[in-house]
């Protein structure tokens, strides 16, 4: 861990704990890791949910944790075209910084990732960072 972090800080302790847990419990559907030089930025990869137009897709993104984490929600940015979320844009979901009133400090990185996977087959309905591509367009992106 970089020396620049105060390991007595509750947020830093929490991030270190989540990183250890995710590393010790690998999962086929997703993975997430903090950057070596910035524990407040994580990169994740998720598989598209089965039985949806995203099936067989692998999607990469960033989770940006605020310094007040876990008391404030993260930001979420996708880096892989998917037809549901805009690229390089902070996505508006009930688990992100756009809706801090819904965030629960008991939630963590794993919760965020599982929620994102659940949001894939939902409609964007005009949400910031949301896209409503057709199922055919999304299937094509999942194959590419």
What's the per-residue H, E or C state across 49-98? CCCCCCCCCEEEEEEECCCCCCCCCCEEEECCCCCCECECCECCCCCCCC
How far, in Å, CA of 12 to CA of 86, rounded? 30
Residue ranges and CATH numbers for the domains of the chain are 10-142 (3.10.110.10)
Q: What is the pLDDT of residues 61-84, one digit of tens each?
A: 999 999 999 999 999 999 999 999
Q: How sure is the predictor about 4, in pLDDT bands with cuts at 50, 70 and 90?
A: confident
* The overall pTM is greater than 0.85: yes
How far, in Å, CA of 114 to CA of 110, rounded? 6
Active site residues: 92
């Amino acid at each position: 861990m970089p020396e620049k972090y105060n390991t007595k800080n509750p947020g830093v302790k929490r991030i270190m704990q989540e990183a250890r847990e995710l590393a010790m419990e690998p999962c086929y559907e997703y993975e997430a890791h903090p950057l070596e030089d910035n524990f407040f930025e994580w990169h994740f990869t998720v598989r598209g949910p089965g039985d949806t137009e995203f099936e067989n897709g692998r999607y990469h993104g960033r989770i940006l944790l605020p310094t007040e984490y876990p008391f404030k929600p993260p930001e979420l940015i996708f880096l892989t075209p998917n037809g549901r979320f805009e690229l390089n844009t902070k996505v508006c979901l009930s688990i992100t910084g756009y809706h801090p009133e819904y965030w629960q400090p008991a939630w963590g990185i794993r919760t965020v990732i599982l929620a994102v996977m659940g949001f894939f087959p939902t409609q964007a309905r005009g949400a910031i960072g949301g896209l409503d591509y057709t199922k055919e367009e999304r299937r094509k992106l999942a194959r590419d």
